[in-house]
């Protein structure tokens, strides 16, 4: 019996989703897609999306795909000229009924198609329901056939059901769509797609589960673990391990995909040309996907494989699963031309037709002439020590920044501190303090983003001219005054209140100024959007400046 307490515990574990109704979410999603794209239409009475210009497919093969919902943008997002003619959607993670598949086939056939090709992922429910519709359509005289996509490279010994259909299915949508648009007959497209599926492989990794709306998560992953080879519905993978770096994860995926002892492997050798698809399974950030893309390209190129095209984004998802998959398709020049053919499908990316491998991705920056000056290397060791002290404040500053900002103040300061350390190891320190500050301003400009980076750059650039001739206390006071004025609005109370003071007392009192910022109201930046009652910590920028000034004092004393 479901008690009130047990219901509460269950409901707390069911993930919140931005939906109106569990029962209507698929229908509302399809309506949203169609309303957003003028080239699409719904087939009344069915969860079927079709091209709105069916007259354009007369005399050509129509392509139909589909499956359970929850994998968006697959499959309706790939409907358009040069790709699918229609897609049939089931409930979330459930195969669509044969009646809807048959209705879609007959609509395309009666619209003037010369034949209808069904592109189906290798899952038992999909094969049964789409297969039943194919047989029923044939009894009505429809020229129809079906291609099964089974691109999963996870299992060394696939079950009797065979390899699962994954994101590689999208490749087939594109190649078959280009052939159909050219006017190729159904039999030829089927033969070529059956051959193409042999040259496609996919393998993914998950860091967190997904959940069907209104249900508990499909599986559990302990914190800090990931699972290799899951299916797109949360079906078990091949192994679990500790979460590793992007480098390690990508290397593991590609090694397993191409391992010849694995009966599901994709044979890949040096010199092969491939299209790479980096697919977000739902919850990874664009930043993570971009890192994975970079690593995957590098890993393949290290093997001598030529990466000719890269798709990076969400192509076949698993609701909100935190993970990604890599799909590879081996291509020759003809396949590449078909892949590059234009399409109006809303979910297809606007890809460059330039080869990825072999392309120089860097532009040479304009080199600034080296300034003629004496060089001073004796202070290098002390300067490095002070930079290390600044780096020790990283976590403290991040913690303070989390109360009012995005929690990266310490990390942002660490970027420039690390850049200065690298510069110290590869350059000679200018003997003139004015030139030194000018160099530091350039380093800040190149390596430190955020408001702090801009303010430090202004400060250092304005202070530098006052230290070219003298570097005594009075000169430093003038330099600090000029830097503060250049910033107009001081980054912290620490500089605004004390620039007229004698230099050493200015620095020694900086902690008091930094501490006083806990009582100030933010008028700009992210903290200005936070209610004042939540701002109870000193400003992290003020703490950073105080640490910098103390480091300067220690360096001068040395």
Identify the DSSP state of 279: E
Tell which of 340, 364, 393 closes a domain. Answer: 340
- HSE on the CB side for 169, CA within 13 Å? 32
496 confidence band (pLDDT: 50, 70, 90):
very low
| CA–CA dist 388, 149 (Å, integer) | 55
Which pLDDT does position 542 carry in this prediction?
67
Asked if pLDDT for residue 468 goes beyond 80, the answer is yes
Q: 552: helix, coil or strand?
A: helix
Assess if residue 37 is contained within a domain: yes
Whether 270 and 171 map to the same domain: the answer is no
- The answer to whether residue 1 is domain-embedded is no
Please indicate, yes or no, if residue 90 is contained in any of the structural domains.
Answer: yes
Identify how many contiguous H helices and E strands the chain contains and give both numbers.
19, 12
Catalytic residue among 46, 173, 233, 413: 233
**Alpha-carbon distance 136 to 121, whole Å?**
20
What is the CATH classification number for the domain harbouring 309?
A: 3.30.1180.20
DSSP string, 417-439: HHHHHHHHHHSPPBSSHHHHHHH
Structure tokens at 371: 């300034």
What confidence tens digit (pLDDT) does each residue in 261-313 have?
999 999 999 999 999 999 999 999 999 999 999 999 999 999 999 999 999 99
Q: Is the dihedral of CA 470, 476, 478, 479 positive or negative?
A: positive
For residue 351, pLDDT over 50 is answered with yes
More confident residue, 529 or 395: 395
Judge if 182 and 39 occupy the same domain.
yes
Q: What pLDDT is stored for residue 401 in this prediction?
A: 72
Lowest pLDDT segment from 232-241, 331-340, 356-365, 415-424: 356-365
Q: What pLDDT, on a 0 to 100 scale, did the predictor assign at position 428?
A: 76
Q: Are residues 190 and 90 in the same domain?
A: yes
Q: Specify whether 175 is located in the same domain as 206.
A: no
Domain-ending residue, one of 340, 371, 401: 340
- Return the CATH number at 100: 3.40.50.10440
Q: Are 332 and 273 in contact (CB under 8 A)?
A: yes
Contacts for 553 with CB less than 8 Å, ≥ 6 apart: 504, 507, 508
> CA 182, CA 63: separation in Å to the nearest integer?
13
Residue 58 and residue 159 share a domain: yes
Q: Classify 410 in phi/psi space as left (phi over 0), alpha (psi -120 to 50) or beta.
A: alpha
Residue 364 placed within a domain: no
Closest CA to 424 of 456, 471, 482, 377: 377
Copy the structure tokens of residue 281: 């399974």
Q: Could you report how far apart the first and last alpha carbons of the chain are, in Å?
A: 76
Give the number of domains in the chain.
Answer: 3
Higher pLDDT, 311 or 365: 311
CATH number for the domain spanning 497: value is 1.25.40.340
User: 190 and 230 share a domain?
Assistant: no
| 537 and 404 housed in the same domain | yes
Instruction: Tell me how far apart the alpha carbons of residues 510 and 554 are, in angstroms, rounded to a whole number.
Output: 14
pLDDT of residue 264: 95
Full residue range of the structural domain in which residue 424 is found: 380-557
Task: Return d(Cα 87, Cα 65) in angstroms, integer.
Answer: 5
For residue 441, the Cα-to-chain-centroid distance in whole angstroms is: 32
The whole-angstrom separation of Cα 45 and Cα 103 is: 10
pLDDT digits (tens, 9 = 90+) for 522-544: 555 555 444 555 456 666 666 76
14 assigned to some structural domain: no
Q: How confident is the model at residue 409 (pLDDT cuts 50, 70, 90)?
A: confident
Greatest Cα-to-Cα distance within the chain, rounded to the nearest angstrom: 98
Mean pLDDT of 387-407: 76
DSSP states along 224-251? TEEEES--TTS---SEEEE---HHHHHH
In a domain, 526, yes or no: yes
Residue 264 and residue 150 share a domain: no
Q: What share of the chain is helix, strand, coil (3-state, %, to 5)?
A: 45, 15, 40
Using one digit for the tens of pLDDT, what is the confidence trace for 174-205? 999 999 999 999 999 999 999 999 999 999 99
CA distance 194 to 177: 14
Mean pLDDT across the chain: 86
3-state secondary structure of 98: helix
pLDDT category of residue 495 using cuts at 50, 70 and 90: very low
Q: Is residue 248 part of a domain?
A: yes
CA distances from 224 to 125, 187, 505 (A): 33, 49, 49
233 as an active site residue: the answer is: yes
pTM score, whole prediction: 0.78
Contact (CB, 8 A) for 241 and 225? yes
Is 412 a member of any domain? Answer: yes
58 in Cβ contact with 112 (< 8 Å) = yes
Please, what's the b/e burial string for 161-186 (b: 16 or more CB within 10 A of its CB; e: otherwise)? Answer: ebbbbbbbbbbbbbbbbbbbbeebeb
Task: Provide, rounded to the nearest whole percent, the portion of the chain with pLDDT above 90.
Answer: 58
**Which of 192, 189, 78, 82 has the alpha carbon at shortest distance from 143?**
189
Same domain, 319 and 277: yes
Are 178 and 247 in the same domain? no
CA–CA dist 412, 392 (Å, integer): 13
SS3 76: helix
DSSP code at position 468? S
DSSP element (H, E) containing 383? helix 380-391
One domain, residues 164 and 300 = no
Q: Which residues pair with 219 in a beta bridge?
A: none
Among 161, 196, 231, identify where a domain stops: 196
Label residues 467-494 b or e (16+ Cβ within 10 Å = b): beeebeeebbbbbbbbbbeebeebbbbb
Strand partners, 322: 208
Q: Is there a single domain that holds both residue 430 and residue 531?
A: yes
């Amino acid at each position: 019996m479901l008690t009130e307490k047990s219901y509460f515990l269950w409901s707390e574990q069911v993930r919140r989703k931005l939906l109106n109704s569990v029962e209507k979410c698929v229908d509302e999603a399809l309506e949203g897609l169609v309303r957003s794209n003028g080239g699409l239409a719904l087939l009344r009475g069915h969860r079927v999306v079709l091209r709105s210009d069916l007259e354009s497919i007369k005399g050509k093969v129509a392509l139909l795909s589909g499956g359970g919902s929850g994998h968006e943008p697959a499959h309706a997002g790939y409907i358009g000229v040069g790709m699918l003619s229609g897609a049939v959607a089931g409930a979330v993670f459930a195969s669509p009924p044969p009646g809807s598949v048959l209705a879609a086939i007959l609509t395309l056939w009666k619209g003037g198609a010369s034949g209808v090709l069904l592109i189906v992922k290798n899952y038992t429910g999909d094969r049964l329901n789409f297969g039943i519709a194919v047989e029923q359509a044939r009894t009505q005289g429809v020229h129809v056939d079906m291609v099964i996509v089974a691109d999963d490279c996870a299992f060394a010994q696939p079950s009797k059901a065979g390899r699962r259909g994954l994101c590689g299915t999208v490749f087939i949508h594109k190649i078959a769509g280009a052939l159909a648009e050219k006017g190729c007959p159904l039999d030829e497209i089927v033969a070529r797609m059956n051959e193409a599926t042999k040259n496609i492989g996919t393998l993914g990794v998950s860091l967190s589960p997904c959940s069907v709306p209104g249900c508990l998560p499909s599986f559990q992953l302990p914190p800090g673990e990931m699972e290799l080879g899951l299916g797109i519905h949360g079906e078990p993978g091949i192994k679990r391990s500790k979460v590793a770096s992007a480098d390690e994860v990508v290397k593991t995926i590609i090694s397993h995909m191409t391992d010849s002892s694995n009966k599901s492997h994709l044979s890949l050798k040096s010199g092969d040309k491939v299209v790479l698809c980096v697919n977000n399974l739902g919850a990874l950030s664009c930043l993570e996907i971009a890192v994975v893309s970079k690593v995957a390209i590098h890993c393949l190129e290290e093997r001598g494989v030529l990466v000719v095209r890269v798709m990076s984004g969400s192509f076949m998802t698993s609701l909100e699963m935190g993970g990604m998959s890599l799909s590879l398709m081996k291509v020759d020049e003809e396949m590449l031309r078909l892949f590059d053919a234009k399409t109006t499908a809303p979910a297809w990316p606007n890809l460059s037709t330039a080869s990825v491998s072999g392309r120089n991705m860097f532009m040479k920056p304009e080199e600034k002439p080296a300034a003629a000056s004496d060089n001073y290397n004796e202070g290098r060791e002390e300067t490095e020590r002070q930079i290390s002290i600044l780096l020790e404040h990283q976590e403290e500053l991040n913690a303070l920044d989390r109360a009012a900002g995005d929690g990266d103040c310490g990390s942002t300061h660490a970027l420039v501190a690390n850049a200065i350390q690298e510069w110290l190891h590869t350059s000679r320190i200018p003997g003139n303090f004015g030139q030194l500050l000018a160099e530091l301003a350039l380093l800040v400009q190149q390596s430190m983003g955020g408001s702090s980076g801009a303010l430090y750059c202004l400060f250092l650039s304005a202070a530098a001219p006052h230290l070219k001739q003298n570097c005594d206390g009075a000169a430093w006071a003038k330099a600090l005054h000029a830097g503060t004025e250049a910033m107009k609005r001081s980054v912290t109370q620490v500089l605004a209140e004390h620039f007229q003071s004698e230099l050493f007392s200015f620095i020694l009192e900086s902690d008091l100024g930094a501490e006083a910022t806990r009582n100030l109201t933010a008028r700009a930046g992210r903290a200005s959007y936070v209610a004042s009652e939540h701002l109870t910590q000193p400003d992290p920028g003020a703490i950073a400046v105080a640490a910098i000034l103390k480091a300067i004092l220690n360096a001068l004393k040395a």
